[in-house]
Amino acid sequence: MAIIDRYLLKNFLGVFAVFFISFFGLFVVGDTVNNFSEILRYAESNGGLLRAVLKYYGLRSLVFFDWMNPLLILVATMFTVATFRRHNEMTALMAAGIRNERMVRPLLIMSCILVLLAVVNRECILPSFRQDLSTNIQNIRNDKTDAIVPVYDNQTDILLSGEGIILVDERIVEPNFFLPRTLDQYGVQLLGREATFQPSTNEHPQGYLFSGIRQPEELVTESSLKLNGVPILYTPQDTLWLKSDQCFVVSSVEPKLLIGGGNWQQFSSTPELMGALENPSVKHNPGIEVELHSRFVQPFLDLNLLLLGLPLVLTRQSRSLFFSVGLCVLLIVVFMGVIMLCHNLGSSSLLSPALSVWLPLMVFVPMAVALSLPLYE
């Protein structure tokens, strides 16, 4: 590695680290101040305040890296090149016959490495901590319920609902399931104290174990209900492994699909997203398809943002560092705004999910090429 490469990389990584620590530090301080009482209560039973903060925000740093990586790459690159220009070091290199593409090569290589690290983080690390990351700071002790969004099971036409859900236990509090006409022999509403999701075993497929059945009262004395010859609602009358106040509802709708918001999508791997789309019990969700396509497009968008920003500082015109930073901020706002708009259109089915994700790339790649070519002539 040439001396110039080491010098550029040292400056680049230094700026990247400083901005990451600064931005994340501001986020931690602000969030801690706003939720200090919750953290104090959690710290009382978890080894003190410092340990509680490190445990909670340590994992959030992985999410922060996923969010901020492309922006920090752009900022670090622009600061490195702009500082180089301000000290007239770039002029000296150009006078020595070193072209622009040679100077930015190590920065581009390091940017590719950081983008690959982000992919590994997104696909392997974040899914491993999905339950912890899905818990917000107000529910840091896992003693509160998340809002539940009613979902139809497409295979059985049962509407799954309830008062709330505790994701860490995969448990619905005060479940309220509505049965279709094909299964309403004992009533259309199934109420209980709680319903816990159970994976498939030799005794039953995956579904929800109801406990403390309140309605219909006669359900515990009736035989199991079947749909097209397949048991859908198991009762204690003919199921030995059920207690007298229990029943079992067959469903492939996992608890994560009942939570409002897209946290589970963000913290799921690509194979898990594909499995959710292929789940016959779940109605087609364009938001999941948008997230799935984003996994393939995101690395290219990250690099595309950098290629759009480089011409702003590699131009032959003399610009101040603050002016370059202003252009960088404007570029980020426009770039992210277009992506968010397209994703929202795709999630709302106003655009094809695939087109809504790939459209920004189709728009910005030609722009990056058009802006960059004159600099390397």
Residue 270 lies inside a defined structural domain of this protein:
no
∠ CA 230-231-232, nearest 5°, is 110
Domain count, the chain: 2
Statement to judge: residues 100 and 185 lie in one domain: no
Closest CA to 105 of 309, 324, 310: 310
Q: What band does 13 get if pLDDT is binned at 50, 70 and 90?
A: very high
The answer to whether residues 156 and 279 touch, using CB atoms and an 8 Å cutoff, is: no
CA distance 314 to 319: 10
Mean pLDDT of the chain: 83
The answer to whether residues 194 and 173 touch, using CB atoms and an 8 Å cutoff, is: yes
Statement to judge: residues 132 and 10 lie in one domain: yes
pLDDT at 93 over 70: no
Statement to judge: residues 121 and 14 lie in one domain: yes
CA distance 297 to 357: 7
Statement to judge: residues 322 and 233 lie in one domain: no
Task: Tell me the pLDDT tens digit for each residue of 329-368.
Answer: 888 889 999 999 999 999 888 889 999 999 999 999 998 8
pLDDT at 212 over 60: yes
The answer to whether residues 288 and 277 touch, using CB atoms and an 8 Å cutoff, is: yes
pLDDT for the residue numbered 228: 83
pLDDT at 97 over 70: no
Statement to judge: residues 165 and 200 lie in one domain: yes
pLDDT for the residue numbered 229: 84
Statement to judge: residues 226 and 254 lie in one domain: yes
SS (H, E, C) the chain: CCHHHHHHHHHHHHHHHHHHHHHHHHHHHHHHHHCHHHHHHHHHCCCCHHHHHHHHHHHHHHHHHHHHHHHHHHHHHHHHHHHHHHCCHHHHHHHCCCCHHHHHHHHHHHHHHHHHHHHHHHHHHHHHHHHHHCCCHHHCCCCCCECECCEECCCCCCEECEEEEEHHHCEEEEEEEECCHHHCCCCCEEECCEEEEECCCCCCCCEEEEECCCECHHHHHCCCEEECCEEEEECCCCCCCCCCCEEEEECCCCHHHHECCCHHHHCCCHHHHHHHHHCCCCCCCHHHHHHHHHHHHHHHHHHHHHHHHHHHHHCCCCCCHHHHHHHHHHHHHHHHHHHHHHHHHHHCCCCCHHHHHHHHHHHHHHHHHHHHHHHHC
Residue 304 lies inside a defined structural domain of this protein:
yes
Closest CA to 258 of 349, 175, 156, 136: 175
Statement to judge: residues 123 and 15 lie in one domain: yes
Here the tokens at position 4 are 């110039």
Statement to judge: residues 252 and 346 lie in one domain: no
Residue 266 lies inside a defined structural domain of this protein:
no
pLDDT at 248 over 80: yes
Task: Tell me the pLDDT tens digit for each residue of 279-326.
Answer: 777 766 788 889 899 999 999 999 999 888 888 777 656 556 667 677
Task: Tell me the pLDDT tens digit for each residue of 170-211.
Answer: 889 999 999 888 777 878 888 999 999 999 888 889 999 999
Q: What band does 257 get if pLDDT is binned at 50, 70 and 90?
A: confident
Q: What band does 86 get if pLDDT is binned at 50, 70 and 90?
A: low
143-147 long-range contacts, Cβ below 8 Å, gap at least 24? 145/173, 146/259, 146/260, 147/259, 147/260
Q: Which of 65-74, 101-110, 217-226, 255-264 has the lowest mean pLDDT?
A: 255-264
pLDDT at 69 over 90: yes
Q: What band does 140 get if pLDDT is binned at 50, 70 and 90?
A: low
CA 140 to chain centre: 19
Statement to judge: residues 186 and 107 lie in one domain: no
Here the tokens at position 90 are 């770039």
Question: Buried (b) or exposed (e) across 121-160, using 16+ Cβ within 10 A?
Answer: ebeebbbeebebbbbeeebbeeeebbebeebbbebbebbb
- Domain extent at residue 221: 151-259
Statement to judge: residues 10 and 118 lie in one domain: yes
* More confident: 172 or 94: 172
Task: Compute how many other C-beta atoms are within 10 angstroms of the C-beta atom of residue 61.
Answer: 14
Residue 181 lies inside a defined structural domain of this protein:
yes
Statement to judge: residues 189 and 234 lie in one domain: yes
pLDDT at 116 over 90: yes
Statement to judge: residues 203 and 155 lie in one domain: yes
Residue 206 lies inside a defined structural domain of this protein:
yes
Closest CA to 335 of 310, 364, 299, 357: 364
Residue 281 lies inside a defined structural domain of this protein:
no
199 preceded by a cis bond (ω within 30 of 0): no
Residue 78 lies inside a defined structural domain of this protein:
yes
Residue 264 lies inside a defined structural domain of this protein:
no
* More confident: 256 or 376: 256
Burial of 88 by CB count in 10 Å (0-12 exposed, 13-18 middle, 19+ buried)? Answer: exposed
pLDDT for the residue numbered 337: 92
